[in-house]
Copies of this chain bind each other. A is one copy, B any other.
Amino acid sequence: MPEAMDVRIPVLAVVGVGLIGGSFAAALRRTGAVGEVIGVGRNAASLAEAEALGLIDRAATAEQAAAEADLVFLSTPVGAMPAVLRAMAPHLRAHAVVTDGGSTKQDVVAAARQGLGECVGQFVPGHPIAGSERSGPSAADPNLYRGRQVILTPLPENTPASIARVESAWRACGAELFRMDPARHDDILASVSHVPHLVAFAFLTHLLRRGDAVERLGHAGSGFRDFSRIAGSSAEMWRDILFANRDAVLAEVGQIQQVLEHYAALLRGGDAEGLEALLAEAAALRRDWLSGIAH
């Protein structure tokens, strides 16, 4: 694991030790690059579980963690970030770097500016494109980020050294790094994550409206299982993500409605050739994409 040579984190603080934060701690701990892991969170039972699982060494307040940490990883809901960062700001060590794992970036940047004020240069926003429909400390997995993408959306105030430290921590977790403007990040993630989630959730809402959803689902197969997997995700988390990226999400939903209308028109009009051409083009895009990735 040669990447471990580049990263030295005497004290790592993880705020929100669930799937995302716990996996980050577990992955870094395994490289040997981390001295101590401090866990911060509102839920005492979760912190106790994280400690029992060996994800963290001890629990502390946000203030205590800020005073000790070399790297702070935030995996709280975005709504909780300004208060956490405000509590941390006066105590942050001068060389400390703060990063996050949030699924949207424009709102995280706003929250960081609000919470950190003049210290915002210490905050390097990031998004690991990895997850699971499971959650909590018990879902943490040191391999969660292996081979996955992490997109950083650095601020003008960030120093190259701060960005490089966050990048080497992620590389040590096995991730592949990208940099992007926060608005572009949110626009792309709307397409390939947020709106697919919304559509999958909406499909189940549609089935529920039919009244006999349970009987219908009784005959669903593996295609439906995979198509709908992301609709088993946390409602609270996805409510936040969809609102955080509302404009891009709404624009895409409108476009998808137009595409569905186009499909319906071809069916209604009996245009078999036109429909097959659309289906073939879609299938080719999907196959090309799949052959280009190494999942």
Complex CA gap A178/B221 in Å reads 14
Does A179 count as interface, using CB distance less than 8 angstroms? no
Tell me how many chains of this kind the complex includes: 2
Q: Are B192 and A220 in contact (CB under 8 A)?
A: yes
Tally of contact residues, A, Cβ under 8 A: 90
**A210 located at the interface, meaning its Cβ lies under 8 Å from any Cβ of chain B in the complex:** yes
Inter-chain CA distance A260–B255, complex, in Å, is: 11
CB neighbours of A222 from chain B (8 A): 130-131, 295
Q: Which residues on B sit within 8 Å (CB–CB) of A205?
A: 259, 262-263, 278, 281-282
**Interface 1/0 per residue, A140-169 and B, CB below 8 Å:** 000000001101000000000000000000
Roughly how many angstroms separate A102 CA and B224 CA in the complex, as a whole number? 18
**Which residue on chain B has the smallest CB distance to residue A130?**
B221
Chain B residue numbers with a CB within 8 Å of A220 are: 129, 192-193, 289
Q: A230: CB under 8 A from chain B?
A: yes
Q: Which of B201, B228, B243 is the one whose CB lies under 8 Å from A272?
A: B243
Across the interface, which residues of B come within 8 angstroms of A7, CB to CB?
none
Chain A residues 197 to 235 lying within 8 A of chain B, measured CB to CB, are 197-210, 213-217, 219-235
Q: How far is the CA of A198 from the CA of B242 in the complex (A)?
A: 23
| A 277-293 contacts with B by CB, 8 A | 278-283, 285-290, 293
| Interface presence of A43 (CB below 8 A) | no
A42 within 8 A of B: no
Q: Give CA–CA (A276, B189) in the complex, Å.
A: 20
Question: How far does the alpha carbon of A148 sit from the alpha carbon of B224 in the complex, in Å?
Answer: 13
Chain A positions 74 through 102: 1 when the CB is less than 8 Å from some CB of chain B, otherwise 0: 00000000000000000000000000000
What are the 10 closest A-B residue pairs judged by CB atoms, nearest first? A235-B279, A204-B282, A235-B280, A192-B220, A226-B226, A239-B276, A129-B221, A201-B282, A223-B230, A232-B286
